[in-house]
Structures are given as C-alpha cells and as structure tokens.
Structure 1
Amino acid sequence: MADKLVYMFDDPRQEKTLKELKLVYGGKGAGLAQMTQMGLPVPYGFTIPCKLSTSAKTGWPAGLKEQVNEAIANLEKKSGKKFGDAANPLLVSVRSGAPDSMPGMMDTVLNLGMNAKVVEEMAKKNARFAWDSWRRFIMAFADIVMGTGREPFDHLMDQMKAKKGVKKDLDLTADDLKELSAQFIAKYKELVKKEFPQDPHEQLYAAINAVFKSWDSERAVAYRKMNKIPNYGTAVNVQQMVFGNMNEKSGTGVLFTRSPMDGEKRLTGEFLENAQGEDVVAGVRTPTPIEDLKKVKPELYNKIHELATKLETNYKDMQDCEFTVEDGTLYFLQTRNGKRTAASAIKIAMDLLREGMIDEKTAVTRVEPSKVDELLNKRISPKEKKKPITKGYNASPGAVSGTVVFSKEKAIEAKKAGKKVVLVRKETKPEDFPGMVASIGILTSRGGKTCHAAVVARGIGLPAIVGAGDLDIDEEAGTCACSGDVVFKEGDVISIDGMSGNVFVGPVEVVEPEISGDFAEYLKLCDKYRTMGVRANADTPKMAQDAVKNGAEGIGLCRTERMFNAADRLPKVLDMIKANNLAEREVALEALKPLQKGDFVDIFTAMNGKPVTVRLLDPPLHEFLPNYKDMLVEFTELRVKSETKTKRYAELEMWIKKYEELREENAMLGHRGVRLGNTNPEIYKMQV
C-alpha cells in the first residue's frame, strides 16, 4: 500500500498535540483540521504535509499526483461541483502553511480552476464577480506561479482606473473588468511566452509546486534566519473557494479574540465588504473595524463572536483568525495564536490564568523573554502619530529624544552643560566611549548588531540604532541626509527607538517603564518557578543600582576597564601606560586608586551584601590609546608642514611608538587578562 501523502481536513490523525500536528501539517493545516473536527464552518479541503516540501524540489514522489487527484474527487463529491466544469465549477485556493507562523512571507493562489469557458458561464449569473475573480486569478498565477511579479498587472489596473475616472477597484464595472482581464491575458503571454493554462489540473500542479518553492524564497529564508525557525518545509493546503467578493452581502476579515496591542478581552480586527482576503492585506480600501459590525451587522458580529470564543477556549490562547462571508454565510479559513505586544502578552497570560484557562507554569511560558525586555525600557507611546524617517538595526532597547551631536567632544561638552544629546556617527570606535557615556542614545549609519556601538550601548544600557544605511552622515559639516535631502543637522532634536530601530525627526512621546500591576504579578510567578539565579553585568555604581532595582541577586561580572575609560580616569591611565619605569607607573596608579576605590564602595553599597564578581583589568593596554590611524595622519601633516620641533609632534611620536610596541595582531588572545597581570603586577596590586 502506498504511503499516505494527502490528508483531507476530516481525516483522523495519529498526532495528539497541537505541536505535533503543526510539525506534520503546518500551522494552517493543523488549524483547518481541528476547526473542521470541532464543527466550525470551514470550506472543505486537503493538506499535503511539510515533509514533501523538500523532496518535491527534485520531482514529486510516486503516488502524490494520484492522491491529489483523488482528493479533488473527494472535494467534488462533498461540494457537488466539478473541477473544470463550466456550468458548475469547483474553484480552490492553494495556500502555504509552515509549522511556525511566517506572516507575509509565503504565497497563496486564489480562484484556481477558472479558465475562459468557466468565466463566461459564471458571468451569466454574476458578471462583475466573475470578471473580478478571473482577473485576480490571472495576476496571482502570473506573479506567484510564473514569477512575473505584480507590477505589470498593477500598472494595467491603474491605467484602467485612470481611463474610467475612478479611484477604487470597486468602482470598475463588469465590462471594465472584462476588458482588464483581456489585457491581463495578453500581458501574461508577453511576459511568460506561453498561453495562459486552461486545464485546472495543470494549474493546480503548478500552484502546488510554486507554494513549495516559496519556502526557499529570499524573503522566507531571511525571515527564518532572523527568527531562528528550523528548515521544516511548508505544507500546502488546497481548499474549496468561498467568495468574499461575490456581492454586497459578502466580505472578508481578520480578527483577534483579544487586543494584540493592550491585551483587553474584546474582539478586534477589520472587515472589508465585497472583497477577497488579499485586499485587506494590500490596503486597497479602508476596512471597517470589527467592533462596528455590532451596529451595522449585529447577527454576523454575534456569530463571529460565538465562534471566536469557541476557538479561544479550545486553544487556551488569544487567536488570530481569518474569515470570509459569502452571500451572508460565515466561513472560518484560519486560526493561529496571535502575535502581540509585550504589554499585551503579559495581560493575556495573567487574564487567562485568572479565568482558569491555564495554570501558573503555562502563564510563565506564554511570554517570550525578549518581550519582558521591552517592558524594562522606555518606549514610544502607542498614541504617538509621528512617522519615522528611516529604520536601522535595533541594537539596544529604549526610546529617547535628544539634541544631535556628531562628535564625542560635543557630547561631553553638552553633558557638562546639562543637555541631553544623541551621538550620531557613521560608526563608533573605542575612543568614542566617553562621548557615548555622555549621550542618552546612539545612532550610526554603519555596523550590525555586534558592532562596537551596539555592544557598548547594550553593555551600558544606552538606547541605540546602528546600520541605518539610508542616512548619509557628514560629521564635519554637521548634517545628516536621507534620500538626498538634509533631514537634520547638529543642534536639531531627533528621537530613536532602540526596540523597533525607528528614527524620528523631532521629539516623540515616551512612556517610562514601570514594574507594577500584571507585570509585577507575572515576575513574581517567574520567581516562584525558576530554577536559576540571575546576576547582572554591572560596571558602574549606576548600573549596580539599576541591577538591584530590576531584581538581580548580585553582579556576575564587574569589568573594571569600563571604569578606566571614564573621562576623568583616561588621562591617568595614559600616564600609567607611558611611564618609563615601575616607580612612574606606581605614581600614576596611586592617582587612579582613590577613583577606583570610590567606584567599588558605591557598587558594594548599592548591592547591600549581595555577591559581586570583580574582573581585574582585562584588555590589552593599546586599546586605551588614541586612534592609531588618526595619530599617523596628524603626525604626517606636521612633518609636511615642517613642524617637527613642536611639543605636539614629540607627543605624537611617543604615542605612535608606544602603540606599535603594545599593539596585538590578535587582541583576543594576546597580552591581556592574567598575562597582563603577570607582566604588570602593580596594576592588579592597586586594584586588589
């Protein structure tokens, strides 16, 4: 007997848990099967499991085509319609469905099974609906299956609307859409160099292949990499079409059983009349909020509410559902656990616990650790309406507004004057550290999440955005351009959101973090069930205070070199490095000692008896010196100007020589840590 490769939605499954179902049939396939078996109104269909996604790259396994044809025959029997029959056609959708939700990354083909004969017959009953469905199918098949892209067809649509003097697709007549469909067919032949396929089975096989291939599309691969999603493959779901674009009693929508923004227990989402699902995503018209259906379509709202509640009760979590209304009849097309903000995740977990739907341990696991991090930093108010000018990598969380400066010197001056500044650089280097500490935020046009600016900013708790590549930063002129236009200059106010990576011109409304209410209760639950203690990385008294405030049980790593980098210590560190003998080094270290001692006293006071692990000086000494290339440039300029007798020339010559003497080819493995302590024991002696 051949292996079972295709599963009807109501076929019995051997997998017991939702997780097992998702791994085999994908999230969408698992949801469709469970909704069908719960008795919800779900258009009938079948699922091809995820495992075939990878094997199908080299050709379909034996038996798959036959089982797909058999499943279509089952669909025909259940629906009373016939695949490819002009008088009573069965039309289907072909949709992806990976184990992990990947919104917007995978492909869907709607209205499959239409051809020239089918559309002509359908048009006799409902002309506008028929031609609208036909033009949608041509574009989707060309774009997704044949890879032409949507743009050529969108351009034809825009031309038609301009010609007819209308702004919305909905305002085009049946004759307009018939004419547009003919243009689409001609454009398809021009781009693909073939006639549009008329055989529904040929269409179906090609669409299944296209959905399988979409798993390896550039955007899908990038999304999986970013979200650490394994290479499971995608399932394919083939489902009888229901039409939200049939008439004024039809429509399509998306709903959440609780608010994904604040977690409140109320239906939220959108409904679009006389439309298909793609229209909601594409934003072709402004949809109606689900809440408004209470007034305009109370019967529909009550039915949606009843079924949505049934789904949430079954899955014991907030659900994100897609639905379609065809000529007044409601159908559910998908359900999955909904994406949510940090605040929403906390509230939903605690509310479900209070409602008795989940236990305490489950509530703890319902919130991703990264979501908790969002709530411990200032963030932009949900009420803020300002649009960002660009986006970079979200390197270090927190939201701030401050005056722009382009150099560490200006940042330090501003800090002394009591001003709050955002340091804007192409990139930062170790010598910029004093300027970074003097700033309330960092913005760079280069670098990734592991660059200097990102690592240091996270280490000292500064909001930071790096790699905002659209920005053209001219540090000398004190200007920053985006898309060729200067958007801000030194002295202007900008705002950065290190959680989202968004950059704004001008101030924005910022919300302070607060551990209270549901958040405080949630953290108590975490303490109750955790098996691991948490100590902080903290290098300064301020960081130690923040660590205690946020519940740290001690300091696991206190890096003393961060203390050496402070503006009032660096000159003394340089005196120690340039010392010619032990006696001179000890004099410099004695000057550092009270500052270092003061730091330790303040840190130990803040920790109030909690353990502190101190790391003695670790990095190689050349990292404290001025930038080598900058020194060489200045040194060369002085030689060209014949200013070799000046004090500055002698100073540069000394520092360049010292840098070359101390420089490491591999700074991670060289003269650092315990080796530095062995050759310069006086440093560790002072620190101890």
Structure 2
Amino acid sequence: MQNNPNTTLITAKAPVNVSTHGGRAKCLQRLIRLELPVPTTVALSFDAVRQIAEGHLPDVSAIVEQFNKDTLLCVRPSSEDPDWGGPGAVLNIGMNEIRYAQLSNTLGHDAAAAIYSRFVQSYAINVARLDPDVFDEIPNDGSDSLLAMLQAYEEETDERFPQDPREQLAAVLGSMARAWDGTSARLLRQAKGAPADAGLGLVVQEMIPGFGKGECGSGVFQLVNTVTGLPQITGRYLSQSQGREALGAGSAALYLEKDERGPSLEELAPRAFEELKEDAALMRVKLREEMQIEFVIGSGKVHILDGVRVPRSSRATVRIAVRLAQDGIITPQEAVMRVEPNNLTELLHRQVNPESERDVVGSGIAASPGAATGRIVFNSADAQASAARREPCVLVRRETSPEDVRGMHAAAAVLTEKGGITSHAAVIGRGLGLPCIVGASAMRFDTKNQTITASDGRVLKAGDIVTIDGSSGEVLAGAPDMLEAALDDAFQSLMAWADAERDIGIRVNADTPEDAQTARNFDAQGIGLCRTEHMFFDPARLIVMREMIFAETSEGRAAVLARLLPMQRDDFTQLFRIMEGKPVCIRLFDPPLHEFLPTSRAGQRELAEALDIPVSDVTRRVEEMGEYNPMLGLRGVRLGVTVPEIYDMQARAIFEATLEASDKGDPVVPEIMIPLVSARREVELVKARLDAVASAVRSERGRDFDYRLGVMVETPRAALRANEIAPHSAFLSFGTNDLTQMTYGLSRDDAGRFMSAYIQKGVFPEDPFHVLDQDGVGELLKLGAERGRNGNPGITLSICGEHGGNPESIAFCREAGFDYVSCSPFRVPVARLAAAQLAINHKMGDQKSSLAQMLWKWRVRNRK
C-alpha cells in the first residue's frame, strides 16, 4: 500500500502530491518528514475517490489493516485548494458495541458514550442522510442518550446501526465521494474559483480519542493573531474533547498562554504547551508559512492531526508575508506574490469589524470600498451643514450630478438609487476615497419626503444613523464597530518591494489638491488624468460659469472667463507643486454646458436674480441647451472647437501656473489632453489655439517653457484613426469608461439596472465597466496602440479610465506595451502591487522556474 498511487500509506517518501491527493494529504506528509507526531494516515487519491463515487470501492480491508487493531478512524477531505471546501469530517469510525464496552472499562462510561454518540449522530446525518432534527430532543448526557440515538437511528432507517468497522468505513467513503459530486457542492466550489473537474482526495487517519486518564483533550494552536497578523499565541484547548470542539466550547475551553481571564494550557500541561510552540515554530520555518495546528493530547502526549494556513484578514496577510520575508524564510518577491492586490483596499479604508453584527436594510453595487457611519441627509446643502457641525453624514441621492460634488466632499459616504460602477457617484467616490453604494434599486427613495423604505418595510428618515459598507454593497442600520485603516510599516515595506519589481508606470486620476496629496502619499508616479470640470462647481465659480453661458459674444465670454483665470491658475499651481516635478496630465473641459444650469424652477429663479435677467430668459436658455443624448452631444473637443474661449482660458491658466511652479524647482512640463476626439482636424484646431496662447504667455512673461499635447482616445473612431492623430500628439491616453460605453452602446449610468441579469444569463462574463472587455474594447485598444505607434513611434500610451486600477486590465496593458496606467487615488497601491506580481511572474516564467509557478498558484489560490 505504501507505493500504491491511489491508496497510499503516508510516509516521508510515499507518492503523494497536491495535484493528485490534495493539500491536506501533502501537508501531513510534510509534517511526517519533519518527524512531528502525526498519527498513522492513509491517503486516497482524486482518482480513487472518483471511482468510489461510481461505486468501485478500494480494498477497505487493506486500509483498515494499516492501523492497529481496535483503532478508531476518522476521514477528512483533501481538496487541491482548502478554500474549495469539501464534505465534513467523520470521526470515530469503528465505534460499535464491542469497542464501547472496552472503552467504558478504560476511559469510563461517560467518555465512551460521548465518543459513540458523536459517531452515531455524524454517521446518521452525513451517511444515512437523516434529518438532524431527529436528534434535537435527545440530551447529550451519557449512556442513556447513546441508547436513545441508536433507537432513533433504527426507527428512521429500519435497520440496526452498522457494527462492522469495514462496513462503516466503506459507507463513509462512499458518502463523502458522492457529496463532492453533488450539484450544490459543485456550484459552491466553482463560485470560489475551482475548475469544473476539481478532484477530491480523502485521508483516513488514526483517531487519538482525547479522552481518558491523565491530561487528554484537543484544540487548535497558532503563533499569530488572525485579524492583526501580529505575533500572538492564539487558539483554544478543551479537556476531554475531540476535533475542534474547543472553538465552540465557550467558557469551558482553556486559553493557551497564561491569561488573567481564565485557566490556560500552559499552566495545566506546560510540557505539552512548550512542545506545541516548538512544533509551530518549526512548521513556520520549514513550511515557509504561518500554520494553524489541530492537535490532541492523549495521556499528556501531543499528537498533531493536521496543519493548515492560518486564517487571516487582509491586514494580517500583509503583515505575515512581510515578517516571513524579514525573517529570511521567504524572499521579498515571494512576499509580494502572496498578497492579493484587491485585498489592499481593506487596509486603505476603515472597514466594518468582521466580528460585528450586521443589521442589513438594503444593498446595491459596491462602488467605492470602505465603510462609514453617519446621519442620513438628502441634499448637498444639508451635507455641508452637517460637516460644519462636525457631524458625519451619509448623502442620499437618486443619482448624483456634478452639482453634488460639494456635498460628496462634506459627506462620510454616499448612497444612490441609480447608477453603475462607472456612474458619477462611483467615480467621484473612488477618487475621494469615499465609501459609496450605487444602484440600490430595491430600496424606495422618496427625496421629496426625505425617506428611504427598505425591502423589509422599514422606513429610514433624514437624521437616522446608517452605515454604508462600500466593500460589500450593504446598507446597515446603526453604527457597528469599525476597524481603522492600517498603513503601517509592513504595508510600506511590501510596497517598496513591489516598486522594485514592476515595469509599468502607475499614475493617478486626481482632480483636486487633496487628491494629489493622497496620490503623493501612495507614491503615484504622476497624475494621468485631472478632470478640470470638477473645479468649476464651487459656488463662487459656478455663478461665473453661468454668466459665461449667458454671454452673447466671444468677447463677452472671454471677459467673464477672465475672472476664473486666477482661480484655475491657482488650482494648477498647487497640483504642480504637490507633485514635485512628476508629470501632471490635465484634461481640458469635457462636460456639456447644460450641466452647469439649474433644472428646478427655484434654481432658475435664483439664477435670474443673480444675473439680473428675467426668469423667462433663464428658462429659455436651459431649454435651448438641452440635448436628447448629452453624452454624445456638444461636449469635449466639440465644445473646444465651437466655444474656444474656455480652452483658451484653461491653457493660459496652465501655462502661467507652469511658470509659477517652476520658480522654486525643476521646470514643469505640463501635459494637456484633449477629450472626446474623433478626427485629426479637431486636434489641429485645438493645437493651433493652444500654441497661440503659449506664445502669448512666453512673450508676456519673457520666459520659455515646454508642454506636451495629447489626446484622450474614448471614441472608437479615434482608436481606428490613431495613425492620423498620433503625429500631432505626444501621447494617447485611452479613456476606457467612455470607450466601453460607445463600443457597447451602453449607458454607464443606467447599465446597472440590468447588468446582473446579463451576467447571470451569460450574455457578458463580467460587467464591462468593472472588468475591461479584452475581446471587444481590448481589440480597439490594441488597434489604437498599434496604429498610434505607426503614426508616431515615440508616442506615450496609457489608459486612464476606471479600469486602470484593475489587475486584469494592468496585465492587458503591460502585454500590449502601454507605458503606464492611471487610476483613482485609493487604487494606486492595488495597481502597484498587481504590476509587480505580473513582472515577477513574467521574469520567472522566462526562466521556466518551478518557483514562479508556485508563487503564481499561491496568489491565484488565495484570491477572494
């Protein structure tokens, strides 16, 4: 049996592999190689378990003969990835009336009855498939309970409880094999990333009872805290117990180390405690991982039943990986590979404590991660008033518009009824690091009466306290406990190692000095997208923009915009100085002008009063500027061509800020980006205006400066005609939000209403606004990049849409030869880590290194 590839006695040299027998079997073999006290174990391969499911049992007698006579057995699952789960373990196989009588003499009636009762109940539920309710009324108090369980089994099955250990083991193996192939189990593990044909192994192990004379019991032991990742001996121990009973035993369980809160294993059995510490430390070094030990003590002697990776939070994952590298157990590159990039978002934001109770009143699309608690407000003015009182609030809107940016800045979180992953609220929320849920359509929003009705009928009013969990998409009533952000030394070390490896640039989408400072804190390599329109919604600027809209001539518009010039110049000067010489790419004005006009009658009356014109003139102007499809209307470069005064003012502000920011440091070379381009002539017209403004500023200031002009490629035609556009551009930055919208013919603000149904029905594999569509939109990116290089070999290529922070998109851009990606500020660390992992995997793949495969599998296996 020792050399049988399908039914193998686990020894140091037995043919056991993760890919054939599963992770548990392989880990037990490693523990045996370390000469740790592992009970006798037989491993059944994936193929053997498949055969069992089809009705072909292995030689069960041969398996039983590997163990001492009268030894009780347990069977545990051994899948390739522990996250894929598997059927529950069955303990005490071999227990029957004869063994009960024997154990009653050696362990006592109560212990023997507890062992037998546990097996009867487990066998009845997992093998005979009886309803657990059958045993609910039977108290667990010794031999009387055992007799009641046996009687209940016989009444439900019309047969006596099996007494032959071989028959018991065969039935358990068959049940577990069939359970793995069940529809529910298959769907559940596929949801966790398991392939459809994932195999299950089984391990049959000698039972160490955990009952008897002297110190006997069971527990779990680890050297780190599961939540924080800091060194701390944690776990529990329960005398006279089996399996993981200690974890659910409440006050009856013992602490491990000496603890003022109660008795401990260290005090009760100091020798066993020291042995467990030594074994855990040895496993940490030799298995190159923090391990949780499942152990049992029999008559004072320690037996190790299993070793698994310590369960861990995201912050613990980082700390554990970094400490292992700092201790020389793994390399810094391996530490980088062991942290899933998307898990970093939990470190960057406050999160709901996983141990807190969650009173869920609604849900929507998790649009911006993190969690925040506050009182409900229904408009930006109330949000600002709440912030002035230093009271956190949650801004609730049907959907946000640029006018709500002030309220979003003041709020602790945002909740909207409409919208998708790239809607206005989602994009701005991510940029601000603001927890945000959009598309909560199952909740009824009544903004007029300022109420929200939850799906369970509860009504939330203005002033009620709620918590927005932007990581899960859940709206919670009340204020649960929070975990604070954790940007500690371990995080900084990991990021430094990541930056040493990555080979693609990471910039940030930043619209304000606050965004830019956040980007600097996260070590972004520059600003890849500054959306200047967000600077115009400050009340003092908004009224000037509205005056400009009502100006009748080019001269009149220029005169009004001159009042905005010093404000814009100050904005850009701050950005340049904060970024300290790093590149800053400024997108010229993009939105349609009607977004700056009030839509309500009250707002129009206020504007008429401010401009000293009749309300009818305001109403007429608003109606004139309305568009059937404003996303495809007079915006972006089309506005720059037809109303060039706006771009003239912005260009002058950029150039003057360039000179001011260059006074005390290296020369600033701003990057100016033209949005929504679809034709070469648009670029030529805008470039001519910008060059004229640049020439005028040089002449006025008597100083020279350089700037780079580029194009935001967000229309399919711009990608297809990139060879014509590139000669007039220093860079092409692909705006994947609008490019996806135009390629699919989908509104990014409205697609959330039906996207989940499309994904469920297999129309789209993923939300294309959340995960880059590499087949359709990606094809345009490749064509645009290739044709852009043909037109201008030295052109810089990037993406700056919301996809820029996704690891999958970074992989695509890296493969396509893009120079950098740009993403929202709080996605920068995620992008840096993802880019480093891709570079490490690529380097090691070139060397055909087995280590590369191990690291990549490790990262994929531990993705959430």
Taking structure 2 as the reference length, the TM-score comes to: 0.61
Amino acid at match of 2:390: K
- CA distance in 2 between counterparts of 1:112 and 1:428 reads 59
Q: How does 1:40-439 map to 2 (within 5 A)?
A: 40-49=36-45, 60=54, 65-66=56-57, 69-70=58-59, 72-81=60-69, 88=70, 90-102=72-84, 105-111=85-91, 113=93, 125=105, 127-141=109-123, 143-144=125-126, 150=132, 152-153=133-134, 156-157=135-136, 159-161=137-139, 169=140, 172-183=141-152, 186=155, 189=157, 199-200=167-168, 201-213=170-182, 216-222=185-191, 224=192, 233-244=198-209, 246-247=211-212, 249-277=215-243, 279-280=245-246, 287-291=253-257, 292-326=264-298, 328-378=300-350, 387-390=357-360, 395-415=367-387, 417-425=388-396, 428-430=399-401, 432-439=404-411
1:343 and 1:106, CA in 2 relative to 1: closer, same or farther beyond 3 A? same
1:175 and 1:547, CA in 2 relative to 1: closer, same or farther beyond 3 A? same
> Cα deviations across residues 271-318 of structure 1 (Å, max 9, x unaligned)?
233333353565676532222211112122122122212211211221
Amino acid at match of 1:333: L
- CA distance in 2 between counterparts of 1:197 and 1:481 reads 56
1:36 pairs, out of 20, 32, 38, with: 32
1:572 and 1:559, CA in 2 relative to 1: closer, same or farther beyond 3 A? same
- CA distance in 2 between counterparts of 1:56 and 1:454 reads 51
Amino acid at match of 1:558: C
1:407 and 1:129, CA in 2 relative to 1: closer, same or farther beyond 3 A? farther
- CA distance in 1 between counterparts of 2:79 and 2:638 reads 55
> Cα deviations across residues 557-591 of structure 1 (Å, max 9, x unaligned)?
22223334555545555666677776676566555
Amino acid at match of 2:309: N
Q: Give the drift of 1:468.
A: 7.9
- CA distance in 1 between counterparts of 2:455 and 2:318 reads 39
Amino acid at match of 1:322: E
SS at match of 2:231: coil
1:473 and 1:127, CA in 2 relative to 1: closer, same or farther beyond 3 A? farther
- CA distance in 2 between counterparts of 1:464 and 1:404 reads 13
- CA distance in 1 between counterparts of 2:355 and 2:179 reads 39
Identical aligned pairs, as a percentage?
28
Q: CA RMSD in A?
A: 4.6
Taking structure 1 as the reference length, the TM-score comes to: 0.75
1:550 aligned partner: 522
1:436 and 1:204, CA in 2 relative to 1: closer, same or farther beyond 3 A? same
Asked if the contact 2:395/2:408 (under 8 Å) is kept, the reply is no
1:565 and 1:549, CA in 2 relative to 1: closer, same or farther beyond 3 A? same
- CA distance in 1 between counterparts of 2:4 and 2:302 reads 35
Asked if the contact 2:529/2:587 (under 8 Å) is kept, the reply is yes
Q: Name whichever of 238-247 and 476-485 sits farther off.
A: 476-485
Q: Give the drift of 1:611.
A: 0.5
Unaligned residue ranges in structure 2 (runs of 5+) = 258-263, 605-613, 652-864
- CA distance in 2 between counterparts of 1:622 and 1:24 reads 64
1:89 and 1:551, CA in 2 relative to 1: closer, same or farther beyond 3 A? closer
Amino acid at match of 2:67: S
Asked if the contact 2:392/2:412 (under 8 Å) is kept, the reply is yes
Q: How does 1:500-539 map to 2 (within 5 A)?
A: 503=476, 505-506=478-479, 511=484, 515=488, 517-539=489-511
SS at match of 1:312: helix
Q: Give the drift of 1:531.
A: 3.4
1:494 and 1:247, CA in 2 relative to 1: closer, same or farther beyond 3 A? farther
- CA distance in 1 between counterparts of 2:131 and 2:647 reads 65
Unaligned residue ranges in structure 1 (runs of 5+) = 16-20, 82-87, 162-168, 636-646
1:687 aligned partner: 650
1:621 and 1:106, CA in 2 relative to 1: closer, same or farther beyond 3 A? farther
Q: Give the drift of 1:345.
A: 3.8
2:436 pairs, out of 464, 487, 490, with: 464
- CA distance in 1 between counterparts of 2:389 and 2:174 reads 68
Amino acid at match of 1:607: M
SS at match of 1:362: helix
Amino acid at match of 1:258: V
Alignment of 1:599 onto 2:565 = no
SS at match of 1:334: strand
2:749 aligned partner: none
SS at match of 1:80: coil
Amino acid at match of 1:687: Q
> Cα deviations across residues 530-571 of structure 1 (Å, max 9, x unaligned)?
434332221111111221123222112222233345555455
SS at match of 1:101: helix
Asked if the contact 1:112/1:203 (under 8 Å) is kept, the reply is no
- CA distance in 2 between counterparts of 1:139 and 1:394 reads 42
1:109 and 1:376, CA in 2 relative to 1: closer, same or farther beyond 3 A? closer
1:386 and 1:29, CA in 2 relative to 1: closer, same or farther beyond 3 A? closer
- CA distance in 2 between counterparts of 1:569 and 1:56 reads 74
- CA distance in 1 between counterparts of 2:585 and 2:557 reads 26
Asked if the contact 1:128/1:177 (under 8 Å) is kept, the reply is no
